[in-house]
Structure 1
Amino acid sequence: MPLPFLTADRDLETHDAESAALPHDEPDHWRRPYRPGPWRVGAAAVLLLLASFVLLSAMITAMAGSLPGAAACSVVAALMIALALRLLRVGVWVSAQGLRQVNLLRTTTEPWSAIATVRTLQQPVRWLGLPRTVQGQALIVERRQGEPLRALLTDHNGDFLSRPEAFERAADVLEAWEAEYRH
């Protein structure tokens, strides 16, 4: 089920690729220029399913009369829901202000003026974020000063594994944002 409200892909169906290199209505709003991949959505769905079972156990525990146990189960379920929602937000977000890399525990934002280049490289990349590396493509952001950001996107991460066309489209859109807004 496509979720067009999560991404900038909602305009791809109405415009052809050449007339709308930057599919956006309001460039000042942060948006993800690609859809979350099936691995990421599936992991979040499993976490939400487990959270529902934990909430059910909290309700059963509360009915049995153990309020501290029910509270502990509720807290665990709330943490699982928060983790699932954060997992869905992980990725690259862009706006006219800059580029934002959202990770599970931290977020890095770079203004377009601080970015030297955005380009795709062939290099060893992590497979689904695990320590195992395979040869693949990575979208790299080089800063004007300081160290480059870690790879923004790879063709083997949770959003693009077995979807090379989606990776190419996302890389092209991110490079187009960089070309339009970098000063």
Structure 2
Amino acid sequence: MPLPFLTADRAFDTADDVALPYDDRDLWRRPYRPGPWRVGTAALALLLASFVLFAAVIIGATGSLSSAASVFAVALVMIACALRLLRMGTWVSARGVRQTGFLATRTVAWEQVASVRTTQQPVRWLGLPRTVQGQALLLARQGRGTDVLPPLMTTHNADFLGREQAFDRAADTVEAWADEYRRG
């Protein structure tokens, strides 16, 4: 079963000289592949969910069906959380840039974007409170003054920890989308 949200399009692997290598730019696309920390955490959650599903089957066969249903519901919540974890990240299309978090999604239209730039600053390590020095891709909206948005992506988040080149390529791609659609 193909999972289009798990991988970036193959166009990034083949078209290094083209900043926007997509045929259909109206679709939301992630300009990078999810990192090993994000995929590994989701895989462990799915593995744990499989054990919980197995426990639900055993409880259903030997015990009450209401207990089995509640354990089955826990497994479904774990699966939904793992899939949402894989969906997190920065997405781009001709309409704007979208930052998908675990609980909330924020979309900014290209007309509202003042600038997209990479800067050196303290960033959170894997989303934890601890900060380290790294790079962040920041988005500034027009007419917002000192409105501070969280970084679109950093070198120390679950997608780019230990993958500096992937961060540089993804940041350059998001900046190219911003340059293309802010002009138009």
Q: TM-score, normalised by structure 2?
A: 0.93
The percent of aligned pairs where both chains have the same amino acid is 62
Shift of 1:14: 2.6
Which runs of structure 2 are paired with 1:90-105 in the superposition (5 Å)? 90-105=88-103
Q: Measure how far apart 1:7 and its partner are.
A: 4.2
1:44 aligns to what?
42
1:110 alignment counterpart: 108
Match of 2:24 among 26, 37, 40: 26
Residue of structure 2 equivalent to 1:89: 87
Equivalent position of 2:170 in the other structure: 170
Write the letter of the residue equivalent to 1:161: L
Q: Kindly indicate whether the alpha-carbon contact (under 8 Å) linking 1:8 and 1:32 is maintained by their aligned counterparts in 2.
A: yes
Q: Secondary structure at the match of 1:119?
A: strand
Q: Whole-Å Cα distance in 2 between the matches of residues 86 and 5 of structure 1?
A: 10
Q: 1:163 to 1:44 in 2, by over 3 A?
A: same
| C-alpha distance in structure 1 between counterparts of 2:33 and 2:93, whole Å | 16
Contact 2:110/2:182 (<8 A) preserved? yes
Give CA deviations for 1:86-144 in whole Å, capped at 9, x if unaligned: 00000000000000000000000010000100000100000000110000000000000
Q: Which amino acid aligns with 1:77?
A: A
C-alpha contact 1:91 1:102 (8 A) present in aligned 2: yes
Partner SS, residue 81 of structure 1: helix
In structure 1, how many angstroms separate the alpha carbons of the residues matched to 2:31 and 2:108?
A: 16
On the 8 A contact 1:9/1:23 being kept in 2, the answer is no
Residue ranges of structure 1 left out of the alignment (5+ in a row): none
- 1:111 and 1:64 map into 2 onto residues whose CA distance is 54
Output the CA distance in 2 between the equivalents of 1:140 and 1:43: 26
Counterpart CA distance in 1 for 2:8 and 2:181 is: 17
Instruction: State the SS of the aligned residue for 2:97.
Output: strand
**Contact 1:117–1:141 (Cα < 8 Å) also in 2:** yes
The RMSD of aligned alpha carbons is 1.4
Query: 2:133 maps to what in 1?
Result: 135
Does the Cα contact within 8 Å between 1:8 and 1:23 map onto a contact in 2?
no
Using the TM superposition, give the Cα deviation of residue 157 of structure 1 relative to its aligned residue in structure 2, in angstroms: 0.4
In structure 2, the gaps of 5 or more residues are: none
Corresponding residue number in structure 2 for 1:150: 150
**4+ residue stretches of structure 1 with deviation over 3 A?**
3-9
